[in-house]
C-alpha cells in the first residue's frame, strides 16, 4: 500500500523529481526540448507556476508553486486553460455540450462535466501525472518503446515558501548541470530555469522573478531579479572557491560544510526529506499529517546534518549518507 503524499494547505511550493526507468540516459536535447514545452503546457492547464527546473539525461527536477484550489471557475477561464492541452474542436464540442445541458435546465450536469477537468487543476499530483504520462506517450510513439518511461512514483518535498528553505532548494535545482559536470555555470545550460531565463527570458524569467519575491522581495525588474537570484547560486569566482577533494575529506571525517559547498554535493534532504523548512513550519505540517507517522514519534522537525543549514529541518531523519559527492 502506497503512503499518502504530504501536501500543504493553501498556496504551497514543492520540489518534484523523477528518474528514467532503470536510470538509463534516454533524454537527449530533442527530448528535453519537448519535455520543456510540455511542462509549460501542462502548467498552463493545471494553473500552477514553474519556479525553476532542470532536465538532465536520466532525470528531472521541477520546483512548483501550486495555488489554493478555487471555489469556482468561469467557463471562459476553463476553456482558456484547456487550450494548453486540447484542440479547438474538442473545446468547442465541450462548450456546446455544456450549453445544451443548461438549456435543458440541467446546470447540475453541466457542472459535473466541468468537474472532469477542474479536479486536475491546482493539484501537484495531477500536474505530475499528466506531465509524465504525456512524456511517455510521446517518447514511445517516437521510439517504438513500450511501457512506462519513468522508474517509479515521483518524489516530492513540500518546501516552506521562505528564504531559508526556498533559496537553497532552488539553487540546488539550477546547479544540477554543474554537479553533473556539464557546465561550469548554470547560465550556460539551456535546460534549467536560470539558464533559460538568462538566454530567453519569458516564462522562465517570470519564474525566477517570482522566486525572488518569495526569497527576498528584491524584484523591481527582471534584470534585478536575475542579479539577486544569482547570488544564491554561489558561483562567483574567488569568493567561494573550494576543491572537490576538500569537500570529500570533510564529509569522510563527519564534519560540516558551508552552504556554498553543500549545494555542490548530492543532498538527499532535498529529494527524500518529504518536508523542508524552519522548525515551526515542519512541526505544523507534522501535526496536520500525524496519522502518516508511527505512534512512537513525538515531534516532526529533524535538523539537517553535516552542514551549516541555518536552522533548516526536514520531516525525515535521513541516516544513510544525507550528503555525498555527486557522481560525474
Domain boundaries of the chain, sorted by first residue: 75-118
Does the pLDDT value for residue 244 go beyond 80? no
Mean pLDDT of 5-12: 93
> If we measure between CA atoms, which residue out of 4, 127, 126, 123 comes closest to residue 67?
123
C-alpha cell at 212: 525572488
Does the pLDDT value for residue 203 go beyond 80? yes
Q: What is the pairing mode between strands 59-66 and 275-277?
A: unpaired
In this prediction, residue 217 carries a pLDDT of: 65
| Cβ neighbours around 232 below 10 Å, total | 25
In this prediction, residue 216 carries a pLDDT of: 77
- In the three-class reduction of DSSP (H, G, I as helix; E, B as strand; rest coil), residue 37 is classed as helix
Whether residue 147 contacts residue 26, with contact meaning beta carbons closer than 8 Å, is answered with no
Mean pLDDT of 44-51: 98
The pTM of this model reads 0.94
In this prediction, residue 237 carries a pLDDT of: 45
Does the pLDDT value for residue 238 go beyond 50? no
Mean pLDDT of 127-148: 96
Where is pLDDT greater, at 9 or 219? 9
Lowest mean pLDDT among 129-133, 159-163, 299-303: 159-163
Query: How would residue 254 be classed by pLDDT, with cut points 50, 70 and 90?
Result: confident
Angle subtended at Cα 16 by Cα 302 and Cα 152, rounded to the nearest 5 degrees: 100
Does the pLDDT value for residue 260 go beyond 80? yes
How high is the mean pLDDT of the chain? 92
Amino acid at each position: 500500500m502506497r503512503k499518502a503524499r504530504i501536501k500543504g494547505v493553501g498556496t504551497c511550493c514543492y520540489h518534484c523529481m523523477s528518474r528514467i526507468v532503470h536510470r538509463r540516459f534516454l533524454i537527449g536535447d530533442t527530448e528535453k526540448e519537448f519535455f520543456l514545452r510540455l511542462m509549460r503546457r501542462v502548467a498552463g492547464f493545471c494553473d500552477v507556476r514553474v519556479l525553476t527546473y532542470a532536465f538532465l539525461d536520466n532525470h528531472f527536477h521541477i520546483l512548483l508553486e501550486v495555488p489554493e484550489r478555487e471555489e469556482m471557475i468561469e467557463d471562459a477561464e476553463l476553456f482558456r486553460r484547456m487550450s494548453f492541452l486540447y484542440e479547438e474542436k474538442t473545446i468547442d464540442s465541450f462548450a456546446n455540450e455544456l450549453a445544451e445541458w443548461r438549456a435543458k435546465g440541467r446546470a447540475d450536469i453541466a457542472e459535473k462535466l466541468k468537474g472532469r477537468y477542474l479536479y486536475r487543476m491546482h493539484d501537484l499530483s495531477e500536474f505530475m501525472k499528466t506531465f509524465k504520462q504525456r512524456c511517455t506517450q510521446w517518447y514511445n510513439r517516437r521510439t517504438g518503446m513500450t511501457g512506462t518511461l519513468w522508474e517509479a512514483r515521483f518524489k516530492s518535498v513540500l518546501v516552506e515558501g521562505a528564504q531559508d528553505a526556498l533559496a537553497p532548494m532552488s539553487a540546488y535545482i539550477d546547479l544540477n548541470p554543474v554537479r553533473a559536470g556539464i557546465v561550469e555555470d548554470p547560465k550556460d545550460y539551456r535546460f534549467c530555469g536560470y539558464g533559460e531565463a538568462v538566454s530567453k527570458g519569458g516564462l522562465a524569467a517570470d519564474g525566477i522573478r517570482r522566486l525572488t519575491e518569495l526569497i527576498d522581495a528584491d524584484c523591481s525588474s527582471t534584470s534585478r531579479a536575475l542579479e539577486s537570484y544569482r547570488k544564491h547560486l554561489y558561483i562567483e569566482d574567488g569568493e567561494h572557491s573550494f576543491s572537490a577533494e576538500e569537500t570529500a575529506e570533510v564529509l569522510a571525517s563527519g564534519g560540516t560544510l558551508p552552504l556554498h559547498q553543500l549545494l555542490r554535493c548530492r543532498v538527499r534532504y532535498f529529494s527524500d526529506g518529504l518536508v523542508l523548512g524552519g522548525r515551526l513550519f515542519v512541526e505544523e505540517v507534522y501535526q496536520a499529517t500525524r496519522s502518516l507517522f508511527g505512534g512512537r514519534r513525538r515531534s516532526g522537525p529533524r535538523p539537517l546534518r553535516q552542514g551549516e543549514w541555518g536552522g533548516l529541518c526536514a520531516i525525515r531523519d535521513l541516516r544513510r549518507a544525507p550528503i555525498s559527492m555527486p557522481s560525474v
